[in-house]
Amino acid sequence: MKKFLSIIAFTAITSAFFFSCKPASVASEKTVSKTINMAVFTSNDYNAAIYNASTAGLKVTITKAKGNKTETVWEKSFPSIALKFFPGAVNAFKEAIQIPALLEKDILQVSYTLTYNTGGSIIQMQGDEFVDGKQNNGLLEINI
């Protein structure tokens, strides 16, 4: 009986000790919201007749790395349109992309794929840019 009471007393004391201890404080990292301002435009003149049957489409994917894994945080496919309808840099198609709840140490990878189609002949061009969480705003310019 004494042995049983000793075990109960020991268990009660150690339980009280563990529950009364506060965990070591972990420095909380500051979360930020990131805005990436995307502009899609052309610096070429696609008004010649040879481009009448030519289109371009765009797919943009934004990922962030977490250890050895990546997580897609934003993705959008833009429809193909005729090259002659793409505006110049002054009147670029613009979109502000909001990425919430990033840590300052997070790095975003912005990947885009341009798909050109000219009379059934297709070519794809890819590009990547990186934006870290410390920058207030990122600028992504895609020249068609």
The mean pLDDT of the chain is: 82
Encoded tokens for 139: 């600028």
DSSP-derived secondary structure for 41-71: E-SS---SGGGTTEEEEEEEEEEEEETTEEE
Please report, for the chain, the start and end positions of each structural domain, with discontinuous segments joined by +. Answer: 35-143
**Which pTM value belongs to this model?**
0.73
Task: Tell me phi and psi for residue 29, to 5 degrees.
Answer: -90, 145
- Residues 5-23: pLDDT tens digits? 455 555 555 555 555 655 5
Look up residue 11 and give its two tokens: 């268990």
Residue 80 has pLDDT above 60, yes or no: yes
Within 10 Å of residue 88's Cβ, how many Cβ atoms? 11
**Residue keyed to tokens 């934006």:** 131
